[in-house]
Amino acid sequence: MFLDRFRKPRPTRAVLALYDDPDRLLHAAAVAKEHGFQGLDAYTPYAVHGLSETLGIRKSWIPYVTLVLGLTGAALGLTFEIWTSAFDWPINVGGKPYISLPAFIPVTFESGVLLGGTMTLAALLLACGLPNFKGPILDRNLTNDRFGLYVPEFGPDWNEDRIFGVLRKTGPVDLKVIRV
């Protein structure tokens, strides 16, 4: 499939640590990062302030898509209005100029919002690899009332016992190995 070349290969196994509150999750993420675990991810029922920085997740490229395509949509909308009112079908209405920018602002704005919004959705779906019909269910309560720290298999020196030992000190409710 076309999107498969953009997706990273999935690990075959991982450790999932479940927590009751976001502060323990933040602490566990910091401890896991200090111990050199790579590819960490977190699952939360709501946004947790500072979690992205703790996990080392870099800034997304999607806002740039929104900016570029929003400006492109506005430019296309303005170009269309100028073309139709001044070149293709010029009609002099009450002495108004053919290119009347104040009158063109609403359509220009809406064109930018339309193209920027729809292409942001498309970029988000592409970046997240959605729809993903084959994704595993890690835990039934994961995003209802639990916070999860996901530590995937990250190399030949990956050791479940070491990860369990490090994460057990952070006070998880449950620790489990997931095979994908």
| CATH code, domain carrying 143 | 3.30.70.2190
Domain span at residue 93 reads 62-128
The confidence score (pLDDT) of residue 93 equals: 84
- The answer as to whether 150 is a domain residue is yes
DSSP code of residue 86: I
Q: Are residues 54 and 76 in the same domain?
A: no
- The answer as to whether 1 is a domain residue is no
The confidence score (pLDDT) of residue 138 equals: 86
- Last-in-domain residue among 110, 128, 146: 128
Q: Are residues 78 and 105 in the same domain?
A: yes
The confidence score (pLDDT) of residue 35 equals: 93
Q: Are residues 122 and 138 in the same domain?
A: no
- Last-in-domain residue among 128, 146, 168: 128
Q: Are residues 153 and 116 in the same domain?
A: no
Q: Are residues 78 and 122 in the same domain?
A: yes
The confidence score (pLDDT) of residue 98 equals: 92
Q: Are residues 51 and 73 in the same domain?
A: no
Q: Are residues 66 and 117 in the same domain?
A: yes
Q: pTM for this structure?
A: 0.74
- What is the tally of structural domains in the chain? 2
Mean pLDDT by 10 residues, the chain (180 residues): 57 89 96 93 94 93 97 98 94 88 96 98 92 83 90 85 95 91
The confidence score (pLDDT) of residue 101 equals: 93
- The answer as to whether 2 is a domain residue is no
Residues 92, 97: Cα–Cα separation, whole Å: 7
Q: Are residues 52 and 140 in the same domain?
A: yes
* C-alpha dihedral (180, 54, 30, 154), degrees to nearest 10: 30
The confidence score (pLDDT) of residue 8 equals: 60
- The answer as to whether 173 is a domain residue is yes
The confidence score (pLDDT) of residue 143 equals: 79
Q: Strand, coil or helix: what is 145? A: coil
Can you list the pairs that 47-55 forms with residues at least 24 positions away whose Cβ atoms lie under 8 Å? 48/22, 48/147, 50/26, 51/22, 51/25, 51/26, 54/26, 54/29, 54/30, 55/29
- The answer as to whether 20 is a domain residue is yes
The confidence score (pLDDT) of residue 121 equals: 97
